[in-house]
Structure 1
Amino acid sequence: MKKRKPPRSKKEPASLTYEVEETEQLLPFLLKVMDNRSRNSVKSILTRGQVSVDDHIETKHNFMLNKGSTVRILKNKAAIQQDVFVGMSIMYEDDDIIVIEKESGLLSIATEKERKHTALHQLMHYVKQQHPANRVYVVHRLDKDTSGVMMFAKNERVKRKLQNNWKDIVKERTYVALVEGQVAKEKGYIVSWLKESATRKMYSSRVKNDGQRAATRYRVLQTNNRYSLLELQLETGRKNQIRVHMEELGHPVVGDKRYGSKGRSVIGRLGLHAKILSFYHPVTNKLMLFRSDVPNAFFQKTK
Structure 2
Amino acid sequence: MIRRETVNEATGGRRLDDVIPALFVGLSKSEARRIIDRGGCAVNNSMVRVASRTVVVGDVIEVGVMEPGRFRELVLPQEALLYEDRDLVALNKPAGVNTQRTPYQLKGTLEYWVAEYFRQQGSKEPARIIHRLDRGTSGVMVFPKHRQAAAWLSKRFHDGQVEKLYLALVSGQPQQEVWRVDGAIGKIGSARYGIMSQGRSAVTEFRLVGASGGHSLVNARPLTGRTHQIRVHLASCGLPIVGDKTYEGEPGERMMLHCAALAFRNEKGTEIRLTALPDGLFAAMMKEYGLDYRLP
Q: Same fold (TM over 0.5)?
A: yes
Offset of 1:135 from its aligned partner?
2.3
Contact 2:160 2:223 in 1 (8 A): no
Counterparts of 2:160 and 2:180, CA distance in 1: 23
Name the SS for the 1:138 alignment partner: coil
Counterparts of 2:207 and 2:285, CA distance in 1: 15
Of 96, 102, 115, the match for 1:124:
115
Counterparts of 1:175 and 1:187, CA distance in 2: 15
What is the letter of the counterpart of residue 121 of structure 1?
A: Y
Offset of 1:167 from its aligned partner?
5.0
Name the SS for the 2:202 alignment partner: strand
Which residue in 1 is equivalent to 2:254? 269
Which residue in 2 is equivalent to 1:100? 91
What is the letter of the counterpart of residue 270 of structure 1?
A: M
Which residue in 2 is equivalent to 1:56? none
- Between structure 1 and structure 2, the one with the greater Rg is 2
Worse overlay, 178-187 or 188-197: 178-187
Worse overlay, 170-179 or 238-247: 170-179
Of 247, 251, 259, the match for 1:259:
247
Q: After TM superposition, list the pairs within 5 Å mapping 1:167-246 onto structure 2.
A: 168=159, 170-205=161-196, 207=197, 210-246=198-234
Which residue in 2 is equivalent to 1:146? 137
Offset of 1:159 from its aligned partner?
1.8
Offset of 1:290 from its aligned partner?
1.1
What is the letter of the counterpart of residue 189 of structure 1?
A: R
Residue by residue over 1:68-120, the C-alpha shift from the partner in whole angstroms, topping out at 9 and shown as x without a partner, is xxxxxxxxxxx99xxx6369822111222111111112211111122210111
What is the letter of the counterpart of residue 276 of structure 1?
A: A
Structure 2 length-normalised TM? 0.68
Q: After TM superposition, list the pairs within 5 Å mapping 1:86-97 onto structure 2.
A: 89-97=80-88
Which residue in 2 is equivalent to 1:249? 237
The CA RMSD measured in Å over matched residues stands at 2.8
Structure 1 length-normalised TM? 0.66
Unaligned runs of 5+ in 1: 1-47, 49-58, 63-78
Q: After TM superposition, list the pairs within 5 Å mapping 1:77-88 onto structure 2.
A: 85=76
Tell whether 2:291 aligns with 1:300: no
Contact 1:88 1:103 in 2 (8 A): no
Counterparts of 1:167 and 1:134, CA distance in 2: 22
Offset of 1:161 from its aligned partner?
2.5
Contact 1:182 1:225 in 2 (8 A): no
Unaligned runs of 5+ in 2: 1-37, 39-66, 291-296
What is the letter of the counterpart of residue 290 of structure 1?
A: L
Counterparts of 1:251 and 1:169, CA distance in 2: 26
Which residue in 2 is equivalent to 1:279? 264
Offset of 1:149 from its aligned partner?
0.6
Counterparts of 1:149 and 1:132, CA distance in 2: 23
Contact 2:156 2:264 in 1 (8 A): no
Contact 1:216 1:236 in 2 (8 A): yes
Counterparts of 2:134 and 2:248, CA distance in 1: 17
Contact 1:89 1:100 in 2 (8 A): yes
Counterparts of 1:231 and 1:290, CA distance in 2: 16
Offset of 1:177 from its aligned partner?
0.2
Question: Taking structure 1 as reference, are residues 198 and 224 closer, same or farther at Cα in structure 2, changes over 3 Å only?
Answer: closer
Counterparts of 1:96 and 1:178, CA distance in 2: 33
Aligned length: 222
